[in-house]
Structure 1
Amino acid sequence: MSVPVVKLNSGYEMPILGYGTWQSNPGEVGEAVKCAIDIGYRHIDGAWVYQNEKEIGQALTEKYAEGKIQRKDLFLTSKLWNIDHEPKNVKEECKETLKLLQTDYLDLYLMHWPFSFHKTEARDIIPKDDQGNVMYTYTHYLDTWKAMEELQKEGLVRSIGLSNFNEYQIDKVIAHGRITPAVHQIECHPYLNEESHLKYCRQKGIAVTAYAPLGSPTRPWGLPEEPKVLEDPTLKRIAEKYGKTTAHIAIRFQIDRGVIVIPKSVKSPRIKSNYEVFDFQLSSDDLDAIRNVNKNWRGLSFDFAGKGHKYWAWHPNYSED
């Protein structure tokens, strides 16, 4: 089955459905990626901070060796982590990811968050001082972005983009950078439908990727009282109507809005099920019904590590002026 594509402002095409690899641990992610490719996924979303790119790279190399796919058949995304926002470090981390994935280029490279951390000798993912405080640096994301532009210029990456930014920050990147971001990757699901932001990105010519499209039910810091997207009565009713699961409906909700979507699972039946969303289309009434369950509920703000930084995107009335 051919997956529809989204044409990026860089001129490249990105499959609208991808396979996400966050929380896919070493020892299981390789087999999961190979399973996804066998099913038909051609878009793999990853990041250095997930600490699983080496195994993904090995899995991809094994699939190439089978002769069924080539590198050019895949769309590979990775992300620059917060400890390497200093311009001098950007190319180094990108090259490390290329080496881990065993590839000469990335199809898309994103700035994972707009704020930066201190880079320790041990390269701690969230560096903390002796008192347990997150060790921030204040490299401006514009300086980081300009270094990422050089990666595209050199051919190490085909497209560059952002993740977890607000519109003030995106406007700043567009105004002061040479390249408009090709993609903005954000948390997006029926309880956080981001309708206004999708409209904003369309106006700017930026494609949107929805991560946690099922509400990230297995996120490690989930609490019992938090809403569960896949148990929503409206989604259940619509799923029954189409003979589908609520996960199918949540994924199709993004596709029918033109949003790239990257559901994640390491279980082969679920990986297969998440791909089975191209044999139906939601009606406009059903899309509106799903829009109406929006709660503006964000489960993955990274506030425990980012809220103390001035560039964390969700400060009320955000401004750098």
Structure 2
Amino acid sequence: MERTSIPELSLLASPNSYGIPVLGLGTATYPIPVCSDLSREKEAILSAIKVGYRHFDTAALYQTEQVLGEAIGETISLGLIKSRDELFVTSKLWPCDAHPHLVLPAIQNSLKNLRLEYLDLYLIHWPLSLKTRSYDFPVNKEHLLPLDFKGVWEAMEECQKQGLTKSIGVSNFSCKKIETLLATAKTPPAVNQVEMNPIWQQQKLRELCKTKGIVITAYSPLGGHGTPWGSNAVMECEVLKQIAEAKGKTLAQVCLRWLYEQGVTVVVKSFNKERIKENVEIFDWELSPEELEMIDQIPQKRGFAAFEFIAEQGPYKSPEELWDGEI
């Protein structure tokens, strides 16, 4: 099987301008899988490595850390890669562990599940905390708490200092929340992983992150269709269908190529071997200025408002508060 060489972006907030592959395989599924039945996930990871993926995205919530660790071990034993160092592995801190004293144990548990000595990137999954230790989604809204930005980030910095992760970052942070974090951070976040696709282009957030040297990683690049947090708006977009047809490409390839041309990194999830291969075939062609202009004109709407984290007694009483008006 032919292997594609995937470009990298430098993580400026990391030592030695460490690189992150611009395209990665996501491992989030809903409903959350039962640990005993992850053969589909493992096959997808092995297929992805064979065609050139080197960036893999997981989280404590997803229950896929263990299978990713197994797949990495298998990949090395099969000789598909020489060592773990060839891969870029991201995991995330779930809100139940987003307390200063629980961050270190949480990353250690993720590393144990992954059978790795270090992560390449560790992210705060959401800008909030939970009262009880529970890896459930949706969360119990009675347990929602404000995030201790300063204390939790100091613990994240400690993880990096101890060599448990090469880089640290955040996920689902608005411009305002990035500014709040930067006000006390010694090390700025290397990455902000957020929803981004042609229907939700994140112009304001991208501009801020660019000025701060923070790389954006786009999740739900195809709109997350088929999930409770996604919509079919991307896959049913007539403008994207038109461009895909004219280009002789799939609509997914057009979305991924557009994201690549915006200078962001992307995690895309698929269990289909053919689609895994198609998704990586985006580096030897480009969108025309006219096509980019057509995509710029697409009406914008956030797909995932995250009502699951909105509660009268919680830190955020409306989507406007959670996203600071970026909806």
The separation in 2 between residues aligned to 1:78 and 1:300, in whole angstroms, is: 20
Q: TM-score, normalised by structure 1?
A: 0.91
The separation in 2 between residues aligned to 1:64 and 1:207, in whole angstroms, is: 29
1:113 Cα offset (Å): 0.2
Match of 2:26 in 1: 20
Of 287, 305, 308, the match for 1:304: 308
The separation in 1 between residues aligned to 2:148 and 2:225, in whole angstroms, is: 33
Alignment identity in percent?
39
> Are the equivalent residues in 1 in contact too, given 2:200–2:303 (CA < 8 A)?
no
User: Does the alignment pair 1:238 with 2:243?
Assistant: yes
> Are the equivalent residues in 2 in contact too, given 1:165–1:313 (CA < 8 A)?
no
User: Does the alignment pair 1:206 with 2:214?
Assistant: yes
1:141 Cα offset (Å): 2.4
Instruction: Say which is worse superposed, 269-278 or 19-28, in terms of deviation.
Output: 19-28
The separation in 1 between residues aligned to 2:286 and 2:65, in whole angstroms, is: 34
Match of 1:42 in 2: 54
User: Does the alignment pair 1:146 with 2:154?
Assistant: yes
Match of 1:3 in 2: 6
Instruction: Say which is worse superposed, 195-204 or 72-81, in terms of deviation.
Output: 195-204
Taking structure 1 as reference, are residues 312 and 47 closer, same or farther at Cα in structure 2, changes over 3 Å only? Answer: farther
1:67 Cα offset (Å): 2.1
Secondary structure of the residue aligned to 2:77 is helix
> Are the equivalent residues in 2 in contact too, given 1:193–1:294 (CA < 8 A)?
no
1:311 Cα offset (Å): 5.3
Secondary structure of the residue aligned to 2:119 is coil
Taking structure 1 as reference, are residues 22 and 127 closer, same or farther at Cα in structure 2, changes over 3 Å only? Answer: closer
* Matched letter for residue 179 of structure 1: T
* Matched letter for residue 72 of structure 1: D
* Matched letter for residue 305 of structure 1: F
Match of 1:271 in 2: 276
The separation in 1 between residues aligned to 2:39 and 2:311, in whole angstroms, is: 33
> Are the equivalent residues in 2 in contact too, given 1:213–1:262 (CA < 8 A)?
yes
* Matched letter for residue 108 of structure 1: L
Q: TM-score, normalised by structure 2?
A: 0.89
Match of 1:292 in 2: 297
Across the aligned residues of Structure 1 and Structure 2, the Cα RMSD in angstroms comes to: 2.0
Match of 1:248 in 2: 253
> Are the equivalent residues in 1 in contact too, given 2:149–2:180 (CA < 8 A)?
no
The separation in 2 between residues aligned to 1:54 and 1:313, in whole angstroms, is: 35
The separation in 2 between residues aligned to 1:42 and 1:138, in whole angstroms, is: 35
1:125 Cα offset (Å): 5.1
* Matched letter for residue 79 of structure 2: G
The separation in 2 between residues aligned to 1:2 and 1:315, in whole angstroms, is: 40
1:304 Cα offset (Å): 2.0
Match of 1:114 in 2: 127
The separation in 2 between residues aligned to 1:313 and 1:182, in whole angstroms, is: 28
The separation in 1 between residues aligned to 2:70 and 2:44, in whole angstroms, is: 12
The separation in 2 between residues aligned to 1:267 and 1:148, in whole angstroms, is: 35
* Cα deviations by residue, 1:63-103 (Å, 9 ceiling, x for unpaired): 01112211111000000000001111101110111111111
The separation in 2 between residues aligned to 1:123 and 1:46, in whole angstroms, is: 14
The separation in 2 between residues aligned to 1:46 and 1:211, in whole angstroms, is: 12
The separation in 1 between residues aligned to 2:205 and 2:270, in whole angstroms, is: 27
5+ residue gaps, structure 2, are none
**Count of matched residue pairs:** 310
The separation in 1 between residues aligned to 2:123 and 2:316, in whole angstroms, is: 16
Taking structure 1 as reference, are residues 293 and 37 closer, same or farther at Cα in structure 2, changes over 3 Å only? Answer: same
